[in-house]
Structure 1
Amino acid sequence: LVKVFSWKGKFRFCIGNKGKAAFKRPSAVVTNAQGEIFVKDDVQISMFTDDGQFIRTIGAAVLQRPYGLALTNDGHLLVIDHGRKAGDASVVRFEQDGRLVKRSPFEPLSNAAYSKCRFIAVWRDSLYVVDLGKSVVYVTDFDGKEKRRFGQFGRNEGDFREPSGISVDPKGFVYIADSKNDRIQIFDAEGTFLSLVSLNHNLLRPSDIHVTSDKYLLVSNYLKHNAHVYLLTPFESDRNI
């Protein structure tokens, strides 16, 4: 199930715990401008009102192994579908009413050995996909055509060890949870390393993250079983935030 909390951490309600709204391993959530909630699980996307009332399911007939969930500026829902066998990965795009817009081959995974694409984000006309299996980030268009990639396995600045959550702020700064290095890194939209995020306590396997338009950073700590909210302060490219 999915638990919904207020900004101050007060529990509000659960969704996905009964009937048609029941989930199978939910792993990604987005909301639209109306506050409606979209949750991706292992088989489909489920849509709810802002107070948790079930509306519809999306993609159950076409998705096979979906990962990640993002909402484009024109209101389309995007997921990465790994398919049933290696090399079948695709970008799948839906209208919010459930209609399939397009399925396109995801070019970076034409050779998918060891790949585990689990988290995605969008900025303008680019799709950012984190591959925690190969410790790299792919940047494609919405049709899956690769523009570039950045990152490699390691512990240095700009390197990753099983990167996970990703969020892009309105200015194009890319925040990535570097899970096994227990840190969050910032890159520009092209993938150039800018800074580490300095926090007032240590992270322990950060998983999904989100940066709001008013510069709040939300982090789920996988091994601590909790979530934290931080207020980000301005930074220069040669300094930690």
Structure 2
Amino acid sequence: MAWNDCLWRVLMQYVKSIGLNSNQQIGRGFNHPYDIAFSENNRIYVLNRMYPQSTDGIRVQICDFDDEWYGEFGHGPGDTNDKFLVPVCIGFNDEEKLYVTDESHHQIKIFDRDGSFLEAWGRNTSKITSLEAPSGICFDSDGNALVVQQFKGSILRISNDGNILQTFGESGSEPGELNLPWGICTDSEDNIYVADWRNDRIQKFDSDGNFVQNFGESGSGEGQLSRPSSVAVADDGRVIVADWGNERVQIFDKNGSFQTTLQGEATLSKWAAEWLDVNQDELNARHTADLAIKTLPSHLNTPYHKASQTEHIFWGPV
């Protein structure tokens, strides 16, 4: 194991798990959580997208690192501007307003940190009516929103009063072109990183939206990607990628060179332990279950099937 790999495994040690698998319409617990945001008062906002065949629990939930649960808002599915249909990503701007993208409503919905609806931009509103299938969202150092339009393969820069300042990127597979892009983030110098989902790569643009570089290629080896869904940049410039199709997280240096892989090390959360305490049949079944099947038949020996049979590792990280 390389020294850099050892160092990063030390620096990114597992801390805890928060949550509980729940298909209920209300109350604490997640089902297909798609994104996460943090407020200045240390609250955690989790976007609960739900499974496509069971959408009644769509909402944003609020909790904290100590497992306290504070409520929820934006229940869906619904057709009004304050409700969600197929929400994708969330993020706070510098005014503590929470932006939520909804790819089916073709809208950006804005709430205060208490969950009160403020306004919406996109279809059936008075602003950015041409918005199409927004996915990832982040903010530059001026407080402008950077929003991915996944079907158009483009990025919008939007002022905090809802005016489009810039559009860059186009659909395709050449450098600087995007094919169903998803997650987006900026670094300390306002460079922009996009998870180019269908092209199996990360693309980097400068603060003005000019193409700089891309890294990653299709595959399951080190540094290769399969449908990367989100990207983040650490304070020192390391690039962290949710390698969704390979059921893992990969870390690259600031130049795009592979550093290490994280597979996940989850333990039983406080919420789950409390639930099992009052559901003894489930607890007994858990004690006799094999939660980490190490050997699978050859036709099931894929990252997806391994993840589905091993509780502590990532399964569909977005």
TM-score normalised to the size of structure 2? 0.58
> Aligned to 1:5, which of 47, 63, 85?
63
How far 1:3 sits from its partner (Å)?
2.2
Q: Does 1:160 align with 2:225?
A: yes
Q: Distance in 2 between matches of 1:178 and 1:110?
A: 21
How far 1:162 sits from its partner (Å)?
1.7
Counterparts in 2 of 1:97 and 1:9: CA distance versus 1, 3 Å: farther
> Aligned to 1:47, which of 86, 107, 110?
110
Q: Distance in 1 between matches of 2:157 and 2:248?
A: 31
Name 1:36's counterpart in structure 2: 97
Q: Distance in 2 between matches of 1:81 and 1:144?
A: 15
Q: Which has the larger radius of gyration?
A: 2
Name 2:314's counterpart in structure 1: 203
Q: Distance in 2 between matches of 1:70 and 1:47?
A: 13
Amino acid at match of 2:221: N
Q: Does 1:120 align with 2:231?
A: no
Cα pair 2:145 2:160 within 8 Å, conserved: yes
Name 1:15's counterpart in structure 2: 73
Q: Does 1:94 align with 2:94?
A: no
Aligned to 1:180, what secondary structure does the other structure show?
helix
Aligned to 1:156, what secondary structure does the other structure show?
coil
Cα pair 1:59 1:100 within 8 Å, conserved: no
Work out the number of aligned pairs and report it.
201
Cα pair 2:219 2:225 within 8 Å, conserved: yes
Q: Distance in 1 between matches of 2:115 and 2:206?
A: 32
Cα pair 2:96 2:112 within 8 Å, conserved: yes
Greater percentage in helix:
2
How far 1:82 sits from its partner (Å)?
4.2
CA-to-aligned-CA distance 1:168-226 (integer Å, 9 cap, x gap): 1222111111122221111122211112236433111211xxxxxxxxxxxxxxxxxxx
Aligned to 2:182, what secondary structure does the other structure show?
strand
Q: Distance in 2 between matches of 1:90 and 1:115?
A: 9
Can you give the 5+ residue segments of structure 2 that lack an aligned partner in the other structure? 1-58, 124-128, 266-311
Name 1:190's counterpart in structure 2: 255
Q: Distance in 1 between matches of 2:231 and 2:214?
A: 14
Q: Which moved more, 1:127-136 or 1:31-40?
A: 31-40
Q: CA RMSD in A?
A: 2.3
Percent of residue pairs identical: 28
Q: Distance in 1 between matches of 2:130 and 2:147?
A: 12
* Larger RCO (CA under 8 A, 6+ residues apart): 2
> Aligned to 1:73, which of 138, 141, 144?
141
Counterparts in 2 of 1:26 and 1:189: CA distance versus 1, 3 Å: same
Q: Distance in 2 between matches of 1:169 and 1:101?
A: 27
Name 1:222's counterpart in structure 2: none
Greater percentage in strand:
1
Amino acid at match of 1:45: I
Q: Does 1:58 align with 2:114?
A: no
Aligned to 2:87, what secondary structure does the other structure show?
coil
Aligned to 1:162, what secondary structure does the other structure show?
coil
CA-to-aligned-CA distance 1:76-131 (integer Å, 9 cap, x gap): 10112245xxxx53221111222222223x05x34589922111111122111112
Cα pair 2:154 2:178 within 8 Å, conserved: no
Can you give the 5+ residue segments of structure 1 that lack an aligned partner in the other structure? 208-241
Aligned to 2:113, what secondary structure does the other structure show?
coil
Cα pair 1:121 1:129 within 8 Å, conserved: yes
Cα pair 1:95 1:101 within 8 Å, conserved: yes
CA-to-aligned-CA distance 1:26-81 (integer Å, 9 cap, x gap): 10000134432111112111111111111111344131222211111211101122
Q: Distance in 2 between matches of 1:198 and 1:37?
A: 30
Cα pair 1:91 1:142 within 8 Å, conserved: no
Cα pair 1:134 1:162 within 8 Å, conserved: yes
Amino acid at match of 1:4: I
Name 1:217's counterpart in structure 2: none
Q: Distance in 2 between matches of 1:81 and 1:180?
A: 21
